[in-house]
A and B are shown apart, each in its own frame.
Chain A
């Protein structure tokens, strides 16, 4: 009889730990006698980093599967809607320079690639506006649904902005009260090895040894198990993605009914970019930059200048938190009977909110392919490593894409970002191809790509990239369908602009009345 995988021990709380605990506990019935046992050990002193305030639309499914009520989530996590990202000053740096990466796919995406049909009219309408309504909704500050839309359902695809600290506490409560996760608040002092080099248990200060068949390392940048114990090397990606420091602040609203932006606003600066995330009770703003290209003092000044219009004199009193970033990831994520999820696996930068989605994807794969016993664990581990190495590479390519298409030459930062030696080879190849062929489904290898080809289209064409029209005729050319689809988008835009409430109005209603389940 092979040793069953029954006890799962997660080391580290925070959003990564509790999300992973919740996903596994819900699917593998930790609250029943025949399910797995999930224990989460968390140090009482270690404060979670608590950034990562933007999610992907996948979070809706993740929360729903865990049996979470969306209304409770909105109320307790200070959550708001996110319909995509607005990139300002990434192309020319001018005041009117912006483009949208919305969350809805281009209209008719399963039957037609609109990019080549849009290109001839690119001077009249932006790509995002030609193929989707969502940029308009964002510009008007509208919500992606109505109060009568059931929970987790949408009119316009959406993700969330949330308070990461509150989110972790909310998940903890749900996991321990509803899903049967055992919570141990204690320091891990020693990691104990079995003869086969697996981790047999972790020793805690006050709760003795905690055993496990599978250990999940959610200890943040510390990477206590995978890094410190197993010495799995860290692979730096700083030569591609330069940002290594973030300065974060909370910005209060001036009045309780100030509009809440329903998209992340990211604005290019001299040595990085500033994120601006609207929660119901405050904004979360931060400057993520390359310390090789500016000084902390200069970065602080740029950050304060950014928030000055909303705060006036108060801006000089506001507390700034500094967060160091080491862009990169571990060489492997699953080693022996230990898998890292969250910052312990790696982190690149906040662009495109890839951190939380990687946690969700990791937790989902661990849960779906949870090895039945130790005998088959190495097979799953190899799959996991292959899959996630591929995913990290694709994310790196996609993030880098935002930088390499810039026309900014006003600072060394933007110029250095365009140096060929800083651009991954795979991305260079794709960029070469895309000069003659717009991104489409077959450009990528996997059925479950992190970023679909639509995302590449939004960024490429948002940044003014030109794909040359094909010189020879194609049977599948369908100008009529393309024009009909463009018109459909115009009609849909008008309809939604007239029918959707403001983001603030809907969030207030959710707090007051709640969302229906059906």
Chain B
């Protein structure tokens, strides 16, 4: 059972969070979720794909960091080698939980901050303090809270974006096949992307509709992000060379 606790300034008053990046802190995932609001920053560094959630079958948008499971090619001893780190990585080890509150007799789901106490980022002697001496929120926690709000909204808006792509039949399955400098072959068959030809064939009304929702721009961000596949493969080749 994951140990997710509702954050409060008594239980967690001494907890600090290690904010460096490294595989020892659970950053060695080959992807993370990304949200449409951050596509502009994400596409500058990582390829953006779609994949199905294993538990629900629903499409999610991801940034790809590696060519194999548990491989993040952006990690080095010096940390995370990119100028932008996706929100869903930055928020760790915090999570959004929902609490039922009664407002004017109506039960509402209110988002609240949870902390994953099993995370290797939890510390009592190094890293960022969550609470100030007097119990107030530290600037770090304030920043995390706004990240969590962005993630929460990002989920909803990204779901709408994906639904719109599916309605227009714009997604397609893509198999990534890579042959590296050492002749080793890697393939990934669980990814989906936007079909560029289908986008080009959309009628005027559909294009206008996508544009009005701000989706047309995001579609092009996703398409442009494919250029980062070359960068990813290069990183892998560099890694192979340095391991020789």
Q: Is A147 a contact partner of B172 (Cβ separation < 8 A)? A: no
- Docked-complex contact A147 and B192, CB < 8 angstroms: no
The answer to whether B166 has its CB under 8 Å from any CB of chain A is yes
Which residue of chain A lies nearest to B59 when distances are taken between CB atoms in the complex? A516
Closest chain A residue to B50, Cβ basis: A518
A residues less than 8 Å from B54 (CB atoms): 146-148
The winner among B52, B172, B173 for most chain A CB atoms within 10 A is B52
Task: Give the distance in Å from the alpha carbon of A512 to the alpha carbon of B169 in the complex.
Answer: 22
- Beta-carbon contacts of B167-204 to A below 8 Å, as 1s and 0s? 00101110000000000000000001000000000000
The CB with the most chain A CB atoms within 10 A, among B56, B59, B172, is that of B56
Query: Does A515 touch B at the CB level, under 8 Å?
Result: yes
Q: Is A154 an interface residue (CB 8 A)?
A: no
**Residues of B bordering A, CB below 8 Å:** 52-59, 166, 169, 171-173, 192
Chain A residues within an 8 Å CB radius of B52: 148, 516
CB pair B57 A509 closer than 8 Å = yes
Q: For B53, what are the chain A residues with a Cβ–Cβ distance below 8 Å?
A: 148
The closest CB in chain B to the CB of A512 belongs to: B56
User: Top 9 A-B pairs ranked by shortest CB distance?
Assistant: A147-B57, A148-B52, A513-B56, A148-B57, A516-B57, A513-B57, A513-B58, A518-B171, A148-B54
Query: What does the 1/0 interface line of A487-518 toward B look like (CB < 8 Å)?
Result: 00000000000000000000001001111111
The 0/1 profile, CB within 8 Å of B marked 1, for residues 304-336 of chain A is: 000000000000000000000000000000000
- In contact, B166 and A515 (Cβ under 8 angstroms): no
Between B52, B57, B171, the greatest number of chain A beta carbons within 10 A of the residue's beta carbon is seen for B57
Q: Mark A126-162, 1 if CB is under 8 A from B, else 0.
A: 0000000000000000000011110000000000000
CB distance from B174 to the nearest CB of A (A): 11
Q: Can you name 13 extra interface pairs (CB under 8 A) apart from A513-B56, A513-B58? A: A146-B54, A146-B57, A147-B57, A148-B53, A148-B54, A149-B57, A509-B55, A509-B56, A516-B57, A517-B169, A518-B171, A518-B172, A518-B173
Least distance between A266 CB and chain B CB atoms (Å): 32
Contact of A147 among B55, B59, B173 (CB under 8 A): B55
Chain B residues lying within 8 Å of A517, measured Cβ to Cβ, are: 166, 169
CA gap between A149 and B56 in the complex, in Å: 10
CB A279 to nearest CB in B, in angstroms, measures: 22
For the complex, what is the distance from the CA of A509 to the CA of B54, rounded to whole Å?
A: 11
Please, which residue of chain A has its CB at the minimum distance from the CB of B51? Answer: A148
Which residues of A approach B to under 8 Å, CB–CB?
Answer: 146-149, 509, 512-518
Question: Which residues of A lie under 8 Å from residue B56 when comparing CB positions?
Answer: 147, 509, 512-513
Identify 23 residue pairs between A and B in the complex whose beta-carbon atoms are under 8 Å apart, listed by A's number: A146-B54, A146-B57, A147-B54, A147-B55, A147-B56, A148-B52, A148-B53, A148-B54, A148-B57, A149-B57, A509-B55, A509-B57, A512-B56, A513-B56, A513-B57, A514-B57, A515-B57, A516-B57, A516-B166, A517-B166, A517-B169, A518-B171, A518-B173
Residues of A close to B166: CB separation below 8 A = 516-518
* B171 neighbours in A (Cβ, 8 Å): 518
Chain B's nearest CB lies how many Å from the CB of A146? 7
User: For A147, what are the chain B residues with a Cβ–Cβ distance below 8 Å?
Assistant: 54-57
Collect the chain B residues with CB atoms within 8 Å of residue A512's CB. 56
Residue picked from A515, A517, A518, most chain B C-beta under 10 Å? A518
B222 CB to closest chain A CB, in angstroms? Answer: 16
Closest-CB distance, A165 to chain B (whole angstroms): 29
A516: chain B residues at CB < 8 Å are 52, 57-59, 166
Q: Which residues of A contact B173 (CB under 8 A)?
A: 518
CA distance in complex: A185, B166 (Å): 37
**What B residues does A514 contact at CB under 8 A?**
57
Shortest Cβ gap from A64 to chain B (Å): 15
Residues of B within 8 A of A148 (CB): 52-54, 57
Query: In whole angstroms, what is the CA distance A509 to B57 when docked?
Result: 9
Q: Which partner residue on chain B sits nearest A513 by CB separation?
A: B56
The chain B residue sitting closest to A501, CB to CB, is: B55
**Closest-CB distance, B1 to chain A (whole angstroms):** 20
Of all chain B residues, which has the CB nearest A506? Answer: B57
Are B57 and A518 neighbours in the complex by a CB distance under 8 Å? no
Q: Which B residues lie within 8 Å of A513 (CB)?
A: 56-58
Cα–Cα, bound, A514→B53 (Å) = 12
* Minimal beta-carbon separation of A32 from chain B (angstroms): 19
Kindly state the separation between the CA atoms of A460 and B173 in the bound complex, as whole angstroms: 41
Q: Which residue of A lies closest to B166 (CB)?
A: A517
CB contacts (< 8 Å) of B55 on chain A: these are 147, 509
Give bound CA distance, A146 to B54, whole Å: 8
How many Å lie between the Cα of A258 and that of B192 in the bound state?
A: 36
Docked complex Cα distance between A306 and B169 (Å): 49
Give the nearest-CB partner of B57 in chain A.
Answer: A147
A379 to chain B, nearest CB (A): 40
When chains A and B are docked, how far (Å) is the Cα of A517 from the Cα of B166?
Answer: 8
- Smallest distance from the beta carbon of A203 to chain B beta carbons, Å? 46
A147, B58: Cα distance in complex, Å: 9
Chain B residues within an 8 Å CB radius of A515: 57
Q: Which residues of A contact B169 (CB under 8 A)?
A: 517
* List of B residues within 8 angstroms of A146 by Cβ: 54, 57
CB nearest to A147 among chain B residues: B57
User: With A and B bound together, what is the CA distance between A137 and B53 in angstroms?
Assistant: 23
- Write out the residue numbers on chain B whose beta carbons fall within 8 Å of the beta carbon of A518: 166, 171-173, 192
Cα–Cα, bound, A516→B60 (Å) = 12
Given the complex of chains A and B, what is the CA–CA distance between A503 and B154 in angstroms? Answer: 33
Closest to A517 in B: B166
* Closest CB in chain B relative to A508 CB, distance in Å: 11
- C-alpha gap A509/B56 in the complex (Å): 7
CA distance A515 to B166 in the complex (A): 12
How far, in whole Å, are A184 and B173 apart by their CA atoms in the complex? Answer: 44
Residue of A nearest to B190 (CB): A148
Q: Which residues of B contact A149 (CB under 8 A)?
A: 57
A149 to B57, CA, bound (A): 8
B177 to chain A minimum Cβ distance, whole angstroms, is 20
Q: How far is the CA of A445 from the CA of B171 in the complex (A)?
A: 43
- The residue in chain A whose Cβ has the minimal distance to the Cβ of B169 is A517
Chain B nearest CB from A498 CB (Å) reads: 14
Alpha-carbon distance between A147 and B52 when the two chains are bound, in angstroms? 9
Residue on A with the closest CB to B192?
A518
* Residues of chain B lying within 8 A (CB to CB) of residue A509: 55-57
Report the minimal beta-carbon distance from A511 to chain B, rounded to whole angstroms.
Answer: 12
